[in-house]
């Protein structure tokens, strides 16, 4: 089958989003709050800012030192909530341990929560109501639809139960009428579940966790993980040397790492920011 390379889809989406921004009376504006100097976070934030520029929306980083006091971040979020000129607010995770991640995430107004992580947005998603939705799960559904991969009625296995990947993704798959199983580190007989699944989403965070032998023919494999191998190269959970066998012999669809889900996450973030601005202008 095929490698589900997201790059073409992303560049198509950039063009589409640019024209949606042109139709707005005011440019959307995204603020990213970053705390400390985590290397990976710095890279993710830079990618997000770059995409904002490409699409033509305003963006700004508020960067605090790693020892910033909770009250300072709190006050910043509350001020951004009130600021009419700000469309979306994102607190780049992880943040240092002395800060209360759940509390600060939930201080962001639901409407401006472009990551879809607040209790309000996650709750609405679970009830099947309209909400902002976590960007990685959103991107996975968009990617599957773009490649015309059937979701309705399919047996989907998600190997991850985190709040940012597994839980919201399960809700989105249910909405699309898939049959969903969530696996995690305490799951028994994982391999048996993998071979019974039509779509397997893996976000374990371990290089070479899955090999070609683990899958039946024609499986669609969505590899969310961002790992770095012993040579410092980015890779997912699925062993890279097995890509060829999976795609050409076992006729599987597979998202590569890089250029798969990660690309989708960023573009969905931008799209969600634009959606918030469009909704505001309709009100
Ligand atoms: P996380 O919270 O650590 O989740 C890892 C999940 O894997 C947990 O549910 C864990 O189970 C499960 N797990 C660990 N070992 C397992 C095993 N042996 N068998 C089955 N399940 C196992 O991490 P996360 O924040 O969700 O991120 C996961 C990965 O996705 C990371 O590599 C991250 O970098 C990547 N990611 C990528 C994007 C993107 O845009 N591409 C976005 C978000 C995250 P327990 O719950 O029992 O611990």
CATH assignment, 26-109: 3.40.50.10860
Residue 1: what pLDDT?
66
Question: From CA 46, how far away is CA 61, in angstroms rounded?
Answer: 9
**Strand blocks (E) in 219-283:** 220-223, 227-228, 234-235, 253-254
Question: From CA 31, how far away is CA 92, in angstroms rounded?
Answer: 10
Q: Any idea where the domains of the chain sit in the sequence?
A: 26-109, 135-262
CA of 203 to the centre of ligand 1 (A): 4
pTM: 0.97
Shortest-distance atom of ligand 1 to CA 209: 18
Q: Which residues, including other chains, have CB under 8 Å from residue 215's CB and lie 6 or more apart?
A: 194, 195, 200, 221, 246, 250, 252
CA of 112 to the centre of ligand 1 (A): 26
Same fold, 26-109 and 135-262: yes
DSSP 191-218: HHHHHT-SEEEE----TT-B-GGGS-TT
CA of 3 to the centre of ligand 1 (A): 22
Exposure string for 207-227, b = 16+ CB within 10 A, e = fewer: bebbebebbeeebbbbbbbbb
Shortest-distance atom of ligand 1 to CA 227: 32
* Tens of pLDDT, residue by residue, the chain (283 residues): 689 999 999 999 999 999 999 999 999 999 999 999 998 899 999 999 999 999 999 999 999 999 999 999 999 999 999 999 999 999 999 999 999 999 999 999 999 999 999 999 999 999 999 999 999 999 999 999 999 999 999 999 999 999 999 999 999 999 999 999 999 999 999 999 999 999 999 999 999 999 999 999 999 999 999 999 888 899 999 999 999 999 999 999 999 999 999 999 999 999 999 999 999 998 6
Shortest-distance atom of ligand 1 to CA 186: 47
At 190, list the tokens: 């994982």
SS3 at position 4: coil
Residue 216: what pLDDT?
97
Binding-site residues, ligand 1, Cβ < 6 A: 136, 159-162, 164-166, 183-187, 190, 203-205, 224-227, 261-262, 265
SS3 at position 126: helix
CATH assignment, 135-262: 3.40.50.720
């Amino acid at each position: 089958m095929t490698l589900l390379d997201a790059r073409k889809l992303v560049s198509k989406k950039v063009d589409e989003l640019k024209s949606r921004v042109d139709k707005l009376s005011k440019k959307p504006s995204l603020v990213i709050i970053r705390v400390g100097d985590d290397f990976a976070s710095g890279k993710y934030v830079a990618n997000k800012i770059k995409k904002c520029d490409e699409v033509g929306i305003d963006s700004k980083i508020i960067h605090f030192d790693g020892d910033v006091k909770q009250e300072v971040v709190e006050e910043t979020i509350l001020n951004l909530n009130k600021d009419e000129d700000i469309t979306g607010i994102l607190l780049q995770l992880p943040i240092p341990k002395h800060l209360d991640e759940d509390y600060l995430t939930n201080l962001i107004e639901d409407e401006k929560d472009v990551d879809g992580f607040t209790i309000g947005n996650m709750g609405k998603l679970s009830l099947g109501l309209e909400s902002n939705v976590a960007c990685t799960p959103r991107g996975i559904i968009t990617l599957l639809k773009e490649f015309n991969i059937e979701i309705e009625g399919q047996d989907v296995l998600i190997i991850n139960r985190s709040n940012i990947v597994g839980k919201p993704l399960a809700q989105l798959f249910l909405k699309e009428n898939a049959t969903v199983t969530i696996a995690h580190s305490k799951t028994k007989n994982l391999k048996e579940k993998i071979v019974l699944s039509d779509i397997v989403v893996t976000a374990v965070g371990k290089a070479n966790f899955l090999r070609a032998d683990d899958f039946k023919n024609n499986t669609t494999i969505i590899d969310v993980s961002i790992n770095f191998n012993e040579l410092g190269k980015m890779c997912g959970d699925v062993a890279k040397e097995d890509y060829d066998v999976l795609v050409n012999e076992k006729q599987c669809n597979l998202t590569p790492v890089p250029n798969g889900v990660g690309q989708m996450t960023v573009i969905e973030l931008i799209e969600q920011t634009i959606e918030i601005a469009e909704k505001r202008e309709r009100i």
